[in-house]
Amino acid sequence: MKPYQKIPIEECGEPLVAIPLEHFAVELPHPYEKLGAVYGKRSPYYLRQGVVDALLKAQFFLNKRNPGWHLKIFDAYRPVGVQQFMVDYTFDLIVQKKGLQKEKILPQQKQDIWEEVYQLWAAPSLDLKMPPPHSTGSAVDLTLVNDKEETLDMGGAIDELSPRSIPNYYAASPLLKEQQFHRRRELLNQVMSYGEFQRHPKEWWHFSLGDQMWVWLNQQKDVDSQLIARYGRV
């Protein structure tokens, strides 16, 4: 159990709605669908209504600050089945990169690989008290696109299994290029904060609003916070 999963959920019943993609840049085809993930009747570009409203607010702030720039949505709603698919895919990917044969992996090797997988992915739990953040429709993975429609280099790829994924990884770097990566990550965080999102402490691209992690992160900043987790699994 991760610390944020102890936060109780008081589901508000808000609907899952389509993101108005005309206001954003978007990753098409969807990256996980390209890998073979099946979403069924619901699109990956869905979020709770309140989260969509907040995302539009963040996009407005970005465009006001940097005219012509857009938030680029990589991933949003993710059913538990897709979460399971990506967990299994990442496990197989690590096995392949290590040059191992899946059927010959030793128990300790398997344990080590699973620990590496779960550094990035939330467990695909069906427990309503511990839903994966993306399965609540309140989490979104995104990056920035400038006024030339160029996706900015943020110093690491989305879903990268690396220390470079930590938001402040480049904060103390003396290199000008890496300082630029940090400024871009900070800009993304400032824009999303305007919409009252909270950033994942280990993933520069992941932001949430209204879920367990969002409440827990707010509590780290204000121990007297009275916020509740209003979005459970959908």
pLDDT score at 102: 86
Taking residues 7-14, report their average pLDDT: 96
User: Which residues are identified as catalytic?
Assistant: 203
Report the SS3 class of residue 187: helix
Residue 148 falls within a domain, yes or no?
Answer: yes
In the chain, the N- to C-terminal Cα span, in Å, equals 20
**The tokens of 3 are what?**
């610390």
Residue 27 banded pLDDT, cuts 50, 70, 90: confident
Residue 132 near residue 124 (C-beta atoms within 8 A) = yes
Tell me: the pLDDT tens digits for 121-142? 999 999 999 999 999 999 999 9
Residue 75 falls within a domain, yes or no?
Answer: yes
pLDDT score at 76: 97
Q: Which residue in this structure is represented by tokens 């840049």?
A: 25
CA–CA–CA angle 167, 197, 175 (5° rounding): 20
Residue 33 falls within a domain, yes or no?
Answer: yes
Residue 95 banded pLDDT, cuts 50, 70, 90: very high
Residue 230 falls within a domain, yes or no?
Answer: no
Tell me: the pLDDT tens digits for 143-180? 999 999 999 999 999 999 999 999 999 999 999 999 99
CA 127 to chain centre: 20
Taking residues 45-57, report their average pLDDT: 98
Q: Domains in the chain: how many in total?
A: 1
Quote the CA–CA distance of 125 and 134 in Å, as a whole number. Answer: 12
Residue 141 falls within a domain, yes or no?
Answer: yes
Residue 49 falls within a domain, yes or no?
Answer: yes
Question: What CATH number has the domain bearing residue 197?
Answer: 3.30.1380.10
Per-residue b or e along 45-76, where b marks 16 or more CB atoms closer than 10 Å to that residue's CB: bbbbebbbebbbbbbebbbeeeeebbbbbbbb
Residue 40 has pLDDT above 90, yes or no: no
Residue 2 banded pLDDT, cuts 50, 70, 90: confident
Residue 9 banded pLDDT, cuts 50, 70, 90: very high
Tell me: the pLDDT tens digits for 167-221? 999 999 999 999 999 999 999 999 999 999 999 999 999 999 999 999 999 999 9
Residue 59 falls within a domain, yes or no?
Answer: yes
Q: What is the domain range of residue 86?
A: 3-221
pLDDT score at 56: 98
Residue 227 falls within a domain, yes or no?
Answer: no
